[in-house]
Structure 1
Amino acid sequence: MRADRLVSILLMLQTRGRVTARELADALEVSVRTIYRDVEALGAAGVPLYGEPGHDGGYRLLDGFRTRLNGLTETEAESLFLTGLPGPAAELGLGAIVTAAQLKLMSALPDELRDRAERVNERFHLDAPGWYRDPDPTPHLAAVADAVWNDRSVRVRYLRWEHPREVMRDVDPLGLVLKGGHWYMVGRTGDRVRTYRVSRLQDLEVTGARFDRPPGFDLAGYWDDTIAGFDERRLRTSAHLRLSADLLDHLHEYLDASAVRAARESACPVEDGWVEVTVPVESPDRAVLDLLRLGTDAEVLGPPELRARMAEIVTALAARYSDGPAK
């Protein structure tokens, strides 16, 4: 509704200061032309805002102007109680703070909104970690979070996959990301921004030195680019498979999303209800481990080196189990 959009524009200007028409349009999912019309309507209604021309321009409210149009709608009140992750908040050392904030918010809500928020808490629970694994030990997580918040540099001893396994790094921590139950620190080392898994931090010392964040650094954008680049580097080749139609329907239980998506897009029916697909895979040794999980409802047709590696492993397994238990 236009009234809700006008209020949102007013609140964004109040909280952010200068905001461009493009930023408003992207945030509210409308066209820039619509924003122009809305801004004109706000001005006609007596809201003291003005535009600044040029590349660094945008809209601003007159200094000192404040609005109290910050009441919550029913759905907004409900959504606030879906954003709190008590587990991750506790890991960051913010569990008590989040609880206190929710209690204050609950007490400030009108009775009808309080009832709806309580219903959300009773009916929805968010659990971030994946199945079948214990959470990572992250003894340094709270210290990292504090350094991120206060723009303090840290010196870490980090355990990585390649050699040398342990390295010492001075890092400017720019942000924390929770992905699949694992915490990652995004930090600048020298002139590069890198990603560090928090559970692999062996030691951490907050140096006390303050750093300036890179201008315009976008944590969410960096993370999206990192994930896309990771899949591109990881999935360097592809496998041609023959699958049962039933397995194709349940492939998401065995392979990651990129492989499932590729399989469904490339599926070509063949005889007796089977389909042929092409999926991205890592190295042959890694691909064998993933593809063995598919059992007899799958056959690797190519490339030849992967099929040969599968045959080698299956033959070795058959020999291992053919003579009964080892003595």
Structure 2
Amino acid sequence: MNASVYTERQKGSKYQDFLLSHAQVASIAVFFVLCCVLFSLSTQSFLTGANILNILRQLAPMLIVAIAMTFVIATGGIDLSVGSVVALTNSLAAIVMQAGVPWPLAMVITLLLGAGIGFIQGWFSASQAIPSFIVTLAGLSTLRGIALYSTQGFSVPIEPGTGFDFFGAGTVAGVPVPAIIAVLASIVGYVALNRTRYGRQVIAVGSNSEAARRAGMPALIIKASVFVISGAASALAGLVLASRLGSGSSNAASGFELDVIAAVVLGGTSLMGGRATVIGTILGALTIATLGNGLILLHVSPFFTQIVTGVIILLAIWSNARFFSKLRTARKGKK
């Protein structure tokens, strides 16, 4: 009978395991710090209090949705419709309030609408086995079209001084309210993903949906539920934008979904599912917002800014993937 051979764990391998688990988060953190150092040395206005608060205010809607997108991508899905949901809820909230509905009720209606849209898309994707890419791509076009039709392409003004403007333009102890909402969303997302049974089920479904189902997990419900979260988060972002701008616009959040997905992937969440990090998503969103703000302060052409931002994001993700692959190979070599 063959005897099993056991070898002592290589010294230092535990540190490699730690680096392997946190490589992408650490690398995006370093990249974010380098961006901050570069822009602070290039322009004196970057590190001013006013500009930092402006970054936080601009960042909030993207971060709110990116936290929800982390759950979607963790299951192996994707939601391309978030920008259109933001535009639709943004517009309809303004239309409803202009019709005389009190703003608290309008906010509730808007959030329920976003969650309902997410439920429909989640049902098609999970229960009908239609790839989420296809379902949400259809949603991207359909929902934007509904928003444009509802407003006829015009902005819908929201009456100021009702209290609704506090959510987008107000401050608490000098901190913008949108930033506070984004921080609260991040905390809830982190706790839900890392400290709850639901979060463990999301990761399990993303790793192997069939195995999770055989283990007794409601895989289809989990897959559908993340789209409900995404829809509700997009509606919240739409409300924040409407409050900040004082109007609803069907042209809002154009290209928004690309920034959101980039923030999530840049932070280390796997597009294949099964691995996700809320901390990484926060750093990814901060990096994208900082890049956009810093390039504007350097008076880079807005047309060129998109090119620079896209190339930097691609290089950052590529370097993350390379570093992650090398660490994984090194760990296998030690076994």
TM-score for both structures, normalised by structure 2: 0.19
Q: Which structure has more strand as a fraction of its residues?
A: 1
Structure whose CA Rg is larger: 1
TM-score for both structures, normalised by structure 1: 0.19
Q: Which has the higher contact order (CA 8 A, sep 6+)?
A: 2
